[in-house]
Amino acid sequence: MAKLNDNAVTIVKRYPNAAFHRFANFIKYRLIGSEIDKGLLFKVIMYIVLINVAFIYIKPILYMVTTMLKDAQNILDPTVIWVPKSLFYGHLQEASRMLNYIKSFLISVSLSSGVSVLQVFSCAVAGYAFARLEFPFKKFWVVMLLFTFIMPPQVIILPTIMLFKGFGWLDTVWPMIVPAIFGHGLKGALFVIIYRSFYSTLPKELDEAARIDGAGAIRLFFRVMFPLSKSAIVVVVLFSFVWNWNDFYLPSLFMFTAHNVPLSITLARLAGELSLAAGAGEMTVYEEAIKMAAAFLIIFPLLVVYFFAQRWFIEGVERTGLVE
């Protein structure tokens, strides 16, 4: 025992910095880690970045909620910025009345759901054809698909309005519904590209095995390909639903004089009414609170949808390679 102690003392005397080096290596390993993304320092920086980015997106929602819950006393009190001293729900009721919320909500749900369901099937068929089938001038039509994706909708909006006017479809939902049947509609080209990218990654052996069993292209799509594309379907459904729900441009052009309109149009009309009232000297105190309440009523269904579907949505984005 005494010999071991003597050896330890000899080692310490011979290597006086050994303990310091071991301590320094320990700290370095803990802070940096064996890899750059394993250390404590990297995690701290990553969490700081994520918290700041999350705050950028959450701050408008927090401001919206706190503003719509303020009564006149809290609105006029300069010391009340974020947390109101008392909760007032009258702005939500007034915004719901001005939006004609129940009717507009049902129209928005019907329109967004109908377009998303149609785009799921029609864009899947088009994406499958571009990815797995051979047909004349295929490369040319792929280029046209990409051109459709990058072309601004404002370029063709005037002839589109004239076309639907000739059909007598203005002030109806048909200008948004009918194009979705044929794989077009809002962001339809993007959804075709998503399906095409997904079907291109599937092994060719699936086609060969199905054709050996006597399956044609249509049966192969409905029995094999489409059931395998659940991840792409989730992405297309959610993207299509959210974008059609929030879209103001197309409904404002095709339904500008209609009485029954989706929430995006009623929100614009509400803002116009409040602006006129403010110009006449009315409701100037409550204008911002009512706008915030109306915006909250419109985005709240989307928050509920994302809350329940976020796991499938994230998995779908990863599997379809959309982030790439």
Residue 278 has pLDDT above 80, yes or no: no
Residue 3 in this model has a pLDDT that exceeds 50: no
State how far the Cα of 186 lies from the Cα of 153, in Å rounded to an integer.
Answer: 9
Q: Using 50, 70 and 90 to split pLDDT, how confident is the model at 30?
A: low
Taking only the tens place, the pLDDT of each residue in 98-134 is: 999 999 999 999 999 999 999 999 999 999 999 988 8
The pair of structure tokens assigned to 167 is: 């059909």
Question: Hey, which of 67-76, 186-195, 200-209 has the most confident mean pLDDT?
Answer: 186-195
Note if the pTM is more than 0.85: no
- Residue pLDDT, tens place only, 218-269: 888 888 888 888 888 988 998 999 999 999 999 988 988 888 899 999 998 8
Across the chain, how many H-helices and E-strands are there? Answer: 17, 0
CA 3 to chain centre: 71
Number of Cβ within 10 Å of residue 315's Cβ equals 14
Determine the pLDDT at residue 297. 93
Confidence at residue 31, expressed as pLDDT on a 0 to 100 scale? 63
Mean pLDDT of the chain: 83
Radius of gyration of the chain (CA): 29
Give the residue from 255, 253, 258, 283 showing the smallest Cα distance to 271. Answer: 283
